[in-house]
Amino acid sequence: MQGRSFLVDCGEATQMQLMRKRVNFHRLNHIFISHLHGDHYLGLMGLIFTMHLQGRVNDLHLYSHWGLDEIITTQLRYSHASLGYKIIFQPLEKGVREIIFEDDVLTVETIPLSHKVACSGFLFKERIKPRRIDKSRLPPGLLIQQIASLKKGENVYDEAGNIEYTNEELTLSPRKSRSYAYCSDTAFDKNIIDQIRNVNILYHEATFGEDEVDKAKETWHSTAKQAATMAQLAQVETLLLGHFSARYKDLAPLLDEAKSIFPNTALAIEGEEFTVQD
Amino acid sequence: MQGRSFLVDCGEATQMQLMRKRVNFHRLNHIFISHLHGDHYLGLMGLIFTMHLQGRVNDLHLYSHWGLDEIITTQLRYSHASLGYKIIFQPLEKGVREIIFEDDVLTVETIPLSHKVACSGFLFKERIKPRRIDKSRLPPGLLIQQIASLKKGENVYDEAGNIEYTNEELTLSPRKSRSYAYCSDTAFDKNIIDQIRNVNILYHEATFGEDEVDKAKETWHSTAKQAATMAQLAQVETLLLGHFSARYKDLAPLLDEAKSIFPNTALAIEGEEFTVQD
């Protein structure tokens, strides 16, 4: 997002996939782990070692529920490894919605999910963007400070303190702030709908089809239909389905099931790329 | 070996490679880990979880230096996983040569290696095989017990207790017992030559070329030339080189360097298969 790279969850062999995609590990400074089941974090230790071998010096920020810190330090201890960079661990609080990262362009907040172990989704939200100067109507001779004020939504004043131009006269509304919600793994849970309302892309797990709804409930997972229902209730733009059970060799029935409720649905297949549009 | 499957070391994504090779995980009951550097064990936890998901019930025997037990139990604890099978951990003793597995057809013993952390290679040796009955000379009417005695190298006696046929008359020498030595990671160390003498296949690490011999020494690794020297001194049949530094995009110079000393050398490239011949 705007030149920033984030990694959300890190299953086994993630580093191999990142290399295939030619992702520069040095630019990856924030890694968010939703929960401590192997398919969501087992690639992390290898990535940490490889970053070290590649000469990393900049801090690496890890966001996870408690336990990942112990898992990592135990392995560092037995490998007698002394990393050339710092890992800064930020524990997530279970069942709580909190902002865990913010800078001048975006915030990341946790989404409390319903799973067998402590589990959080992540909501990436661009901050409200500046109003855009309407160049066709911009009078000559404005100061750089006045233009900055216009972008913030303020008016232009003359030396006497009177309004010279209103903001509406010279600016257009800002570009829409984009948002992405990642929700894996979770049982069907309407409690998060308010939080993910209107996001551009909702990634939601769909481990099973609706014919396995009991199995989904029992294992704290969702069906494709349930994921689509979440997308519909939260009025998101696009739904991405993922985290399919290995039993589904053909994913078309899961996609069809979701599309019957929420048409703008796609499958998050390994290696595919999705862009959050302005 | 004779229907038995063993896994020696388990780097990240090993389970994916085993699946590609269609290895049946249920037949894999013994896993040997040489040392606790990530490239030698990071795929183990994923394999353990997948074995559980596949419904494994038979015991899994793990052989490793101390630490792997803690690394595994820490991760099981945080994933709240209760495996459907037992993991039986057998710690290896540092710097000691010991038999850690034996059954009726083979033994596995550790090879003390010289590395930065406690590290053991593994020597797989078939037991001495039975003498082979020479069917062209076998007289009719021998009892099944007498044939079994012949295979053990004994003579055939008549009812009075006198030699009826000597073993030499009716048998051929046994097939050669095969052996395989796995030596990774290690500095050049002649102390193990007696132990690996005459093995059919020696896998020896060759992290560097001889132009990096100082780097090899400093990092407790070997050069291709050093690996070949080990093969020559131990009079092995075949040398396999592996564990190449990522700096070598082209491995031909490493192979050439080794072949100039020990001609029967091959590169252990990922996915390749090698058979220990009778």
Contacts of B43 in chain A (CB under 8 A): 12
Interface of A with B (CB under 8 A): 12-13, 15-16, 36-39, 42-43, 45-46, 49, 53, 67-68, 70-71, 74-75, 77-80, 116-117, 246
Total-model pTM: 0.90
- Residue-range domain boundaries for chain B: 1-91, 98-125+176-278, 132-172
Contacts of A246 in chain B (CB under 8 A): 53
Residues of B acting as catalytic residues: 39
> pLDDT value at position B214?
98
Residue of A nearest to B43 (CA): A12
User: What are the two backbone dihedrals, phi and then psi, of residue B273, each rounded to the nearest 5 degrees?
Assistant: -120, 140
Instruction: Please tell us whether the domain made up of B98-125+176-278 is placed in CATH 3.40.50.1820.
Output: no
A266 vs A203: CA distance, rounded Å: 10
Enumerate residue ranges in chain B where pLDDT < 70. 1
Closest to B38 (Cβ–Cβ): which among A12, A13, A46? A46
CATH homologous superfamily of B1-91 equals Ribonuclease Z/Hydroxyacylglutathione hydrolase-like (3.60.15.10)
Instruction: Report yes or no: B35 and B10 within 8 Å, Cβ to Cβ.
Output: no
Q: Which of A11-15, A182-186, B131-135, B210-214 has the lowest mean pLDDT?
A: B131-135
Same fold, A1-91 and A96-129+176-278: yes
Q: Which residues of B161-176 are buried (b: 16+ CB within 10 A; e: fewer)?
A: eeeebebeebbeeeee
Class in CATH terms, A96-129+176-278: alpha beta
End-to-end CA distance of chain B: 11
B269 vs B278: CA distance, rounded Å: 23
Closest to B12 (Cβ–Cβ): which among A43, A70, A246? A43
Given the residues A9, A39, A59, A103, the one annotated as active site? A39
**pLDDT tens-digit map of A87-142:** 999 999 999 999 999 999 999 999 999 999 999 999 999 999 999 999 999 898 88
Closest to A13 (Cβ–Cβ): which among B13, B79, B80? B13
Task: Tell if the CB–CB gap between A78 and B36 is shorter than 8 Å.
Answer: yes
Query: Is this prediction's ipTM beyond 0.90?
Result: no
* CA of residue B179 relative to chain centroid, distance: 8
B128 vs B105: CA distance, rounded Å: 8
> pLDDT value at position A179?
97
* Residue type (1 letter), B139: P
